[in-house]
Structure 1
Amino acid sequence: MIYGIHRTKRRVLDSLLLLLMAGATTAIVAALVWIVVYIVTRGIGTISLRFIFSSERGVGIFPMVVTTLYIVFTSLAIALPIGIATAVYLNEYSDKPRVVQCIRTAIETLAGIPSILYGLFGLLVFARFAGLGQSILAGGLTLSIMILPVIIRTTEESLQTVPRAFREGSLALGTTQWQTIYRVVLPSALPGILTATILGIGRVVGEAAPVLLTVGIARNLPRSIFDSGRTLTIHLYYLTKEALNPEDFQIAFATASVLVVFVLVVNIATKVLTAFFKKHMEH
């Protein structure tokens, strides 16, 4: 009898917890859908090929799109190799707990620094001291430091999920540790690395203060990473700040829609690639 009562209580508690988690999940999905629909429905009427691919002032956002893409690729080109190499060292090579602890403390500290401080650092070190000026390269270097903690931690967690039997089996066949990491461990951890890439892209695209200080606000079409420019996020900020009539807000919503669609496309493409690599590895 008592066992039956306890069993009933556990079932009720499990049902309540399941209902709570389902409600939280529904709220998150509903918030995302509401934000996307709200922005896109108010900006879709202004979006056109001319709006996206024109450089005409007050009409097109093509220079901002190009600057954003430059910033994303520059930041990832710098941060991904360093972040993945650091995660591999921490998880596969280092046998000194104190050294690992010091490195992880440094990574956690980097993750907690406000973005405006990164912007000041990039402005003083890369833009002025290194002589890069306000440029895409200065912004990419600054943002690469910002996204390093995300890439390192996510990649390290992904490496930890690879079964030890994979490593032991590879080493038993006579391969070196590096060959095991390169041919067995990293391919198995690739979905996690792609997740780190998504998070890094999202952080780069969404930042404003560091980009404003290191890249600038010029509306020109950048020809290289040594030019200044204006990202979509900074452009959206100035559009809303200077908006005087409904037409201005319409352009701002259209720019926000492009930004949201860009992030969604990156996420969906990465998920597709992750599923493809998982299927490929299973076969």
Structure 2
Amino acid sequence: MEITASPDEIVLLVAALLGGGVATGFLAGLFGIGGGGIAVIVLFELFSALDVPDSVRMHVSVGTALVVMLLTALRSFSAHKKRGAVDMEVIKSMGIYVVLGVMAGSTLARHADGDVMKGVWVCIAPIMAFQMFFGHKGWKLGEDIPRGLFRPIYGAVVGFASTLMSIGGGVFVSSMMKLFNRPIHQAIGTASGFGPLIGIPGVAGFIWAGWDAVGTPPLSVGYINLPGAAIVSVASILAAPFGVKVAHALSRRALEIAFGCLLMFMSIRFLVSILTT
């Protein structure tokens, strides 16, 4: 497939990617989400405008966003860790199971169509948003995160769903930690540490999943589009620390409401896409 554009269109395209990258990085730092979810929205709209076939559009959006999520999450995680807002014990105890979940998600991505991947967003994001909107300090499942089978199972679920959503695990980890009596700032900081665990095997998995795919944009490796990943990543990495700074200046309730609104927007956008294609 050949995609052509005039010089003016190229300038607008680069500007849009840079703007999307800034938004991605800022929100990644603000919510500890790795930025991939925002990048999925930006890239999906971009590839729609470029007439990338619907059969691979969501796959390339998610795969490319995983690169953005990985690089942005590394920066966000480093910034949160410097502020002492990361519980490394939680990350270490769930890490291997997260990676196994990522492998399963990448395998599904190789065989599933785009609507299946959009459906993951539509089903899961509103549940997380509901908890953010209506949860309060009294809502908790226990005094601390349980051990035993809970961490392996939850870690695998986080890896599986996060790979298909390209969200870095922040949605699931921060919500879970909040329900187990952890401060919201620590929950967000720790969630940012799951981004690299998901991003590294996730990127490799989407390269493998799309290696022989037909209809991907030029300069793509598997389901990873290199120009989109590069431009959005650079802008997002530079913007992530500003999001972290704002996160630590906001109240717990303000962060929860803003996070919930973001989740609902993404869910509605993909539901509309499923219904209109």
Question: Normalising by structure 1, what TM-score?
Answer: 0.32
Structure exhibiting the larger radius of gyration computed from Cα positions: 1
Question: Normalising by structure 2, what TM-score?
Answer: 0.32
Q: Which has the higher contact order (CA 8 A, sep 6+)?
A: 2
